[in-house]
Amino acid sequence: MLVDTHCHLDFPEFDNDRKETVKRANAAGIGYIVNIGSSLQGSRRSTQLAAEFDCVYATVGIHPHEADRVVPGDLDEIKALAGKDKVVAIGEIGLDYYKGYSKQENQRPLFLSLLSLAKELGLPVVIHTRSSQEDTLKMIKEFLPLKGVVHCFSGESDFLKECLDAGLLVSFTCNITYKKAENLKRLIREVPLERLMLETDAPFLSPEGLRGRRNEPVFVKNLCEEVARLRQADKEEIAAITTENAKAFFNLK
């Protein structure tokens, strides 16, 4: 069994075949799918999907890209949504200085508020960071000990070490299958297996050979196979350990 720990089935790319997408994943042995809320509206949809599908669990949060559009009351609703059945984390939250879709001065207080909410509720956090690693770690450290995962991991060995030293898990996506992803292929060998999770980030980052197509949870199998190859391990071992990591992290039943 495998777990897709991070995807966006609520996105419009799945509007025409959402049920079939989930069925394909289940038939291929993906036992759990964690659907990630990345806006207030997306968090609402995420909880609805968790209610509709037995294998789907939800997170609720506001992505840093949305920071400029947050209005009074949004965080109160996120808190209310976090109390719904099968909501297992706050996320995705964090900082993104690369795209510049929202001002940095709006991203930082939003991130701090959502970290505080997660701490208050005793929920883990799903962290997005891009071109903002120093600030991301600085803010996380204000709330340690904190149960968190840095999703779609990128960076260098020193950033990985700091994340691991802070007690965080890391997850990798299908972009490690890309021919030019030498850095990610190297990093995946440095992560202790007990701190590793797998994700698709669907509909984004389809695996090599399927680029240009929509990604979906079933392709976490491709990712597992590549991780096993890179670590010279059995794919059954990678599947078993990363599944147990995900079940423990998200308290999946």
* pLDDT per residue as tens digits for the range 106-133: 999 999 999 999 999 999 999 999 999 9
Give how many domains the chain has, as a whole number: 1
Structure tokens at 57: 């669990």
Span 47-89, pLDDT tens digits:
999 999 999 999 999 999 999 999 989 999 999 999 999 999 9
Q: What is the pTM of this model?
A: 0.97
> Environment class of residue 155 by beta-carbon count within 10 Å: exposed (0-12), middle (13-18) or buried (19+)?
middle
Could you tell me the CATH number of the domain that includes residue 136? 3.20.20.140
Q: Domain range holding 163?
A: 2-250
pLDDT at 93: 98
